[in-house]
Chains A and B, each alone.
Chain A
Amino acid sequence: MYTKDGESYFVVDSHVHFWDASPANQANRYGKGFIECFYDYSRNLSPAEWVWPLEKFEKYSEADLLHDLFETGYVDKAIFQPTYLSDFYVNGFNTTEDDGAIAEKHPDKFIVNGAFDPRDGEAGLDRLDALAERWNLRGVKLYTAEWKGESKGWKLSDDWSYRYLERCERLGITNIHVHKGPTIYPLNRDAFDVADVDDVATAFPNLNFIVEHCGLPRLEDFCWIATQEPNVYGGLAVAMPFIHTRPRYFAQVIGELLYWLDENRLTFASDYAIWSPKWLVEAFVDFQIPEDMQSEYGVLTPDVKRKILGLNAAKLYDIEVPAQARARAEPVVSGEAVGSAPEVPA
Chain B
Amino acid sequence: MTDRAAVWDALGTVRDPELDRPITDLGFVTEAVVTDEGAGGADVRVRLRLPTYFCAPNFAYLMVADAYDALRALGGVGDVQVRLEDHFAAEEINGGVAERAGFGGAFPGQATGELAELRRTFRRKAHTACLERVCRKLLATGLAAEDLAGLHIGDVPESAERTALVRRRAELGLPAGPDAPLVVGDDGAPVPVGGVAARLRFAMAVRVSIDGNAGWCGGLLRTRYGTPTEDAT
A31 to chain B, nearest CB (A): 11
Which of chain B's residues have a CB closer than 8 A to the CB of A256? 204-205, 208
Q: Does B28 reach chain A (CB closer than 8 Å)?
A: no
Q: How far is the CA of A306 from the CA of B149 in the complex (A)?
A: 41
B117 to chain A, nearest CB (A): 8
Which of chain A's residues have a CB closer than 8 A to the CB of B204? 256
Contact B103 A188 (CB under 8 A): yes
Q: Is the interface of A mostly helix, strand, loop or mixed?
A: helix
Q: Which interface class (under 10, 10 to 19, 20 to 34, 35 or more) fits A? A: 35 or more
A339 to chain B, nearest CB (A): 10
Which of chain B's residues have a CB closer than 8 A to the CB of A217? 18, 209, 212-213, 216
Our pick among A186, A187, A224 for the contact of B202 (Cβ within 8 Å) is A224
Q: How far is the CA of A185 from the CA of B201 in the complex (A)?
A: 32
Contact B110 A189 (CB under 8 A): no
Which of chain B's residues have a CB closer than 8 A to the CB of A33? 53-54, 88
Q: Does A55 reach chain B (CB closer than 8 Å)?
A: no
Contact B208 A252 (CB under 8 A): yes
Contact A45 B54 (CB under 8 A): no
Which of chain B's residues have a CB closer than 8 A to the CB of A216? 209, 212-213, 216
Query: CB within 8 Å of A: which of B168-201?
Result: 201
Contact A188 B112 (CB under 8 A): yes
Contact A188 B115 (CB under 8 A): yes
Q: How far is the CA of A182 from the CA of B107 in the complex (A)?
A: 15
A169 to chain B, nearest CB (A): 31
Contact A40 B224 (CB under 8 A): yes
Q: Does B223 reach chain A (CB closer than 8 Å)?
A: yes
Q: How far is the CA of A224 from the CA of B201 in the complex (A)?
A: 11
Which of chain B's residues have a CB closer than 8 A to the CB of A223? 205
Q: Does B101 reach chain A (CB closer than 8 Å)?
A: no
Which of chain A's residues have a CB closer than 8 A to the CB of B213? 216-217
Our pick among B55, B110, B211, B223 for the contact of A185 (Cβ within 8 Å) is B110
**Binary interface encoding of chain A residues 133-165 relative to chain B, with 1 for a CB under 8 A from any of its CBs, else 0:** 000000000000000001010000000000000
Chain B residue, CB-CB nearest to A251: B208
Q: Is the interface of B mostly helix, strand, loop or mixed?
A: helix
A211 to chain B, nearest CB (A): 14
Our pick among B88, B113, B223 for the contact of A30 (Cβ within 8 Å) is B88
Which of chain A's residues have a CB closer than 8 A to the CB of B206? 220
**Interface residue count on the B side (C-beta < 8 Å):** 40
Contact B56 A192 (CB under 8 A): yes
A119 to chain B, nearest CB (A): 15
Given contacts A30-B88, A219-B212, whether A186 and B52 have CB atoms under 8 Å apart is no
Which of chain A's residues have a CB closer than 8 A to the CB of B109? 150
Contact A44 B219 (CB under 8 A): yes
Contact A246 B88 (CB under 8 A): no
Q: How far is the CA of A253 from the CA of B117 in the complex (A)?
A: 27
Chain B residue, CB-CB nearest to A184: B56
Our pick among B18, B57, B220 for the contact of A183 (Cβ within 8 Å) is B57
Our pick among A29, A37, A186 for the contact of B110 (Cβ within 8 Å) is A186
Query: CB within 8 Å of A: which of B1-45?
Result: 18
Which of chain B's residues have a CB closer than 8 A to the CB of A189? 58, 112, 117-118
A189 to chain B, nearest CB (A): 7
Query: CB within 8 Å of B: which of A219-238?
Result: 219-220, 223-224
Which of chain B's residues have a CB closer than 8 A to the CB of A224? 202, 205
Contact B111 A219 (CB under 8 A): no
Which of chain B's residues have a CB closer than 8 A to the CB of A192? 56
Which of chain B's residues have a CB closer than 8 A to the CB of A299? none
Chain A residue, CB-CB nearest to B121: A190
A290 to chain B, nearest CB (A): 14
Our pick among A30, A246, A260 for the contact of B215 (Cβ within 8 Å) is A246
Contact B220 A41 (CB under 8 A): yes
**Binary interface encoding of chain A residues 8-46 relative to chain B, with 1 for a CB under 8 A from any of its CBs, else 0:** 000000000000000000000110011011001101110
Which of chain B's residues have a CB closer than 8 A to the CB of A36? 53
Q: Does A181 reach chain B (CB closer than 8 Å)?
A: yes
Which of chain B's residues have a CB closer than 8 A to the CB of A185? 110
B186 to chain A, nearest CB (A): 13
Which of chain A's residues have a CB closer than 8 A to the CB of B75? none
B64 to chain A, nearest CB (A): 14
Chain A residue, CB-CB nearest to B54: A182
Our pick among B57, B115, B212, B220 for the contact of A40 (Cβ within 8 Å) is B220
Given contacts A36-B53, A152-B110, A217-B18, whether A188 and B205 have CB atoms under 8 Å apart is no
Contact B209 A220 (CB under 8 A): yes
Which of chain A's residues have a CB closer than 8 A to the CB of B112? 186, 188-189
Chain B residue, CB-CB nearest to A249: B212
List 6 tightest A-B contacts by C-beta distance, closest first.
A33-B53, A186-B112, A44-B223, A220-B205, A219-B209, A188-B111
What are 18 A-B interface contacts by the 8 Å CB criterion?
A33-B54, A36-B53, A37-B52, A37-B54, A40-B52, A182-B56, A182-B57, A183-B56, A186-B113, A188-B111, A189-B58, A190-B58, A219-B212, A224-B205, A242-B212, A246-B219, A249-B212, A253-B212
The interface of chain A, by Cβ under 8 A from chain B, is 29-30, 33-34, 36-37, 40-41, 43-45, 150, 152, 181-183, 185-192, 216-220, 223-224, 242, 245-246, 249, 252-253, 256, 259-260
